[in-house]
Structure 1
Amino acid sequence: MPLPATSTHGAARIAARSDAEAVAQWLTEFRASPQTLRAYRREAERLLLWLGHQECGLGELRRQDLDTFEAFLASPTPRHLWVGPPRPRHSPDWRPFRGPLSPASRRQSLVILQGMFAWLVEAGWVSHNPFRLMRDKRRRLDNRQPGIDRYLERPLWEWLWRWLSEPPAENASTREDYLWQRRRTIFGFAYLLAPRISEMAAAEMGDFFPREGRWWWRVTGKGGKTARIPVPDDMLALLRDWRQTLGLAAEPRPGEEGAVLRGLDGQRGLGDNQLYRLIRDTFRQAADALETEAGEEARSQVSRLRAATPHWLRHTALTHQAQAGVELRYLAGTARHARLDTTAQYLHSEDEEWHRQQSAHGLPGRADESGAEPV
């Protein structure tokens, strides 16, 4: 792919010789949060590569270019140049896209890049931030939503857990039993503790520890912040079963090393990408199973499973905890949100009450509950 153009920036307040070096300095601001760093690098890289293909640099980006770039995110073309399966970054067939970005992903990309340009303006690398000229900037760049809808409703989750819990056949191999136990552990872990996928991949056995008769999970999340989360009995039971499969003692020892989620050798930990693909593959397999089992009657649920990503499990966990009556302050602690209004998106009780009251509003002539026609 063409390299992004290099410009001369006499007023720059950073030591950089090219757009790529300037962006690299911006990215160092997020070195304490590896997950954020990866996400921001991906979006910045896509913009730099696109600009290189246009033979222009960051300082030449104008307001009208943003619409063209957003359309490009929705349909990266030519496809062979931009889209491809996961590959190591040094591979010659690595591509920056797995496919077109959804509206939510495009919105998130623009949010990230707006922040990048604000920093570059302060650094004196570019003279203006074209995102500030977007007339409908608040609508397009505000990534907050009034509620969370990317989750599995309880009946669908209950079906999925029953499907995940169906044991292998009696003549199943040791490998098949291992994969079954690991899959249940992954989905149970995700549902019971609401971790981010990077936090699951990084979890060590010693991160689970008892204190005054209760078990806790120590987790380091976004921004390098460490927290402890209560471990419910079901999670402890899953962990014990999984450790038995690994040939370990029933409960973790203080400071015990070794990843919780492991590869087929039972030793090496799973990486973020491996875990992501495993969960996505499981959702697709579950969708196929539900479609075979229920056919057209379950079409909407099958579609939900096919659309689901690993982060849906976190949304599902927090939504179901909220529906079960977990107080907002404790829910925020589990989610590790800095703001309560972020956690409040998982509270659907107001929607339910609104819908109940709205149902009393109907068209003339509708029979009331007694069966009589209204006057």
Structure 2
Amino acid sequence: MPDTLPALPASPPLIAAQSDQQAVLLWLSEFMDRPATLRSYRKETERFLLWLSDRNKQLQQVQREDVLDYQRFLQAPWPPERWVGPARPRQHPHWKPFTGPLQPGSIRQALTILSALFSYLSEAGYRRGNPFKLVRKRQQATTLPVERFFDQQSWQAILHAIDTLPDESLRDQQQAARARWLITLLYLTGARRQEVAQARMGDFSQRRQQWWWRVQGKGGSHADIPVSDELMTAMAAYRNSLGLSAQPEHQEDTPLACKLPGEKNQTLQPISDKAIYLICREIFQRAASQSADKAVRSRLIQASTHWLRHTAASHQLDAGIPLLMVSQNLRHASIQTTRRYLHSEDDARHAATGLHRMQDRKTATEPAGNPESGTPPDSNTP
């Protein structure tokens, strides 16, 4: 039977890329305003392109079988002498793409990033379909409470570590002031380190005798975070260490966290989000070394800067701040995300379950007999 309708012409691509490298670089350029995301996406796409190059394949040739092969490869990159090595800068002559096999969570993240790339290329008309989306549907896992936060013992160890930082020299004092400011800022606001790195003092402003911090968050979104008197006092102390007035000026361009001033660097420059991570990690390691509690030491050694965000949410809820307000402070897209930090419900459930005891049940339900006459319980003898 002859066709009654002619075939529709193929739609022209929406991008002008002529090679895989050009297509990937165009996709990555969409994230120029999100440095942390850009680094992560660039790392995973470069790994995948190197793997494809070994197999003499282009992005347009990738099929579902390749996705499954790559997933297995991430579990144990082979041969290790080509793919695995110690962490080094990308420009180092002995740089390797991996430091070892990836954990399941890291593999899921890598595949999610590559799926986003292939969706982009498919919608742009550079290739047909997204083989990463052909994944077996898994049963939705129950969302568990967040455990990566500092309990009270760990938090007190951190505060002690800050209070005992060296202060003999001017540089020691400046380093201590900055570390104290960063820990205080991240804990009281729940901000992400990337948000702190790109912020300015002038982002703090006063309305109706109240201070607010306008934060630029994920995807360039903006939100106002309430600023407590305690945080403003901490800011004044940090600004004093920099030779600044106690409160920021309107639209002041001073970075919210600065490199240490020096003879060659008189202007205040912002520190990177990686520097914030390293400063906080140093405090956590110091707190661990000073603690006599093995469990506290273990918790502090594995902690990262993001734990301060988790801790901010948990401690705000423990303090009785309403769930909706904490969700707004943390800028969660869903209140269910915030609910994961609500440990008080688990504490109450645990305490209530303690009322269920074997001894109490035995005493309460055991029928009374007559021990002197030998009459057994439940006897029908009059």
Task: Please report how far the alpha carbon of residue 357 of structure 1 lies from its aligned counterpart in structure 2 after TM superposition.
Answer: 4.0
Counterparts of 1:71 and 1:133, CA distance in 2: 16
The one-letter code of the counterpart of 1:356 is: A
CA gap 1:98/1:252 in 2 versus in 1, 3 angstroms: farther
CA RMSD of aligned residues (A): 3.0
Moved more, 349-358 or 42-51: 349-358
CA gap 1:44/1:10 in 2 versus in 1, 3 angstroms: farther
Give 1:190's match in structure 2, choosing from 172, 181, 186.
186
Give 1:331's match in structure 2, choosing from 321, 326, 329.
326
1:156 equivalenced with 2:145 (yes/no): no
8 A contact 1:188–1:238 mirrored in 2: yes
Counterparts of 2:81 and 2:278, CA distance in 1: 22
Corresponding residue for residue 286 of structure 2: 285
Q: Deviations over 1:89-138 (max 9, x none)?
A: 54545554566544333322222222222222222333332223322456
CA gap 1:39/1:253 in 2 versus in 1, 3 angstroms: same
Moved more, 339-348 or 267-276: 339-348
Counterparts of 2:52 and 2:139, CA distance in 1: 25
Task: Please report how far the alpha carbon of residue 270 of structure 1 lies from its aligned counterpart in structure 2 after TM superposition.
Answer: 0.5
Corresponding residue for residue 372 of structure 2: none
The one-letter code of the counterpart of 1:230 is: P
Corresponding residue for residue 315 of structure 1: 310
Task: Please report how far the alpha carbon of residue 190 of structure 1 lies from its aligned counterpart in structure 2 after TM superposition.
Answer: 0.7
Corresponding residue for residue 3 of structure 1: none
Secondary structure of residue in 1 paired with 2:359: coil
The one-letter code of the counterpart of 1:280 is: R
Counterparts of 2:253 and 2:117, CA distance in 1: 38
Task: Please report how far the alpha carbon of residue 31 of structure 1 lies from its aligned counterpart in structure 2 after TM superposition.
Answer: 4.2
1:51 equivalenced with 2:69 (yes/no): no
The one-letter code of the counterpart of 2:19 is: S
8 A contact 2:157–2:288 mirrored in 1: no
Pairing of 1:56-67 with structure 2 (within 5 A): 56-67=57-68
Unaligned runs of 5+ in 1: 1-8
Task: Please report how far the alpha carbon of residue 196 of structure 1 lies from its aligned counterpart in structure 2 after TM superposition.
Answer: 0.8
Task: Please report how far the alpha carbon of residue 39 of structure 1 lies from its aligned counterpart in structure 2 after TM superposition.
Answer: 3.0
Corresponding residue for residue 200 of structure 1: 196
CA gap 1:367/1:151 in 2 versus in 1, 3 angstroms: same
Counterparts of 2:299 and 2:22, CA distance in 1: 42
When the two structures are superposed, what TM-score results if normalisation uses the length of structure 2? 0.81
Unaligned runs of 5+ in 2: 1-9, 263-267, 367-382
Counterparts of 2:341 and 2:299, CA distance in 1: 18
Corresponding residue for residue 209 of structure 1: 205
8 A contact 2:157–2:287 mirrored in 1: no
Counterparts of 2:161 and 2:19, CA distance in 1: 53
Counterparts of 2:32 and 2:139, CA distance in 1: 28
Give 1:341's match in structure 2, choosing from 336, 340, 345.
336
8 A contact 1:82–1:96 mirrored in 2: yes
When the two structures are superposed, what TM-score results if normalisation uses the length of structure 1? 0.82
8 A contact 1:152–1:316 mirrored in 2: yes
Q: Which runs of 4+ in 1 moved over 6 A?
A: none
Secondary structure of residue in 1 paired with 2:360: coil
Task: Please report how far the alpha carbon of residue 83 of structure 1 lies from its aligned counterpart in structure 2 after TM superposition.
Answer: 4.2
CA gap 1:168/1:37 in 2 versus in 1, 3 angstroms: closer
Task: Please report how far the alpha carbon of residue 275 of structure 1 lies from its aligned counterpart in structure 2 after TM superposition.
Answer: 1.8
Corresponding residue for residue 116 of structure 1: 117
Counterparts of 2:210 and 2:172, CA distance in 1: 33
Task: Please report how far the alpha carbon of residue 199 of structure 1 lies from its aligned counterpart in structure 2 after TM superposition.
Answer: 0.8
Secondary structure of residue in 1 paired with 2:211: strand
Corresponding residue for residue 134 of structure 1: 135
Pairing of 1:1-375 with structure 2 (within 5 A): 12-76=13-77, 78=80, 81-85=83-87, 87=89, 89-97=90-98, 100-136=101-137, 145-168=143-166, 172-265=168-261, 267-290=268-291, 294=292, 298-360=293-355, 366-368=358-360, 375=366
Moved more, 220-229 or 96-105: 96-105
8 A contact 1:11–1:125 mirrored in 2: no
Corresponding residue for residue 380 of structure 2: none
CA gap 1:325/1:79 in 2 versus in 1, 3 angstroms: farther
8 A contact 1:215–1:230 mirrored in 2: yes
Corresponding residue for residue 376 of structure 2: none
The number of aligned residues is: 351
Counterparts of 1:79 and 1:239, CA distance in 2: 50
Q: Deviations over 1:38-80 (max 9, x none)?
A: 3333322222222223332323334344344334444545267
Counterparts of 1:53 and 1:301, CA distance in 2: 46
The one-letter code of the counterpart of 1:289 is: Q
8 A contact 2:83–2:97 mirrored in 1: no
CA gap 1:10/1:254 in 2 versus in 1, 3 angstroms: closer
Q: Over alpha carbons, which structure has the higher Rg? A: 2
Identical aligned residues as a percent: 38
Task: Please report how far the alpha carbon of residue 189 of structure 1 lies from its aligned counterpart in structure 2 after TM superposition.
Answer: 0.8
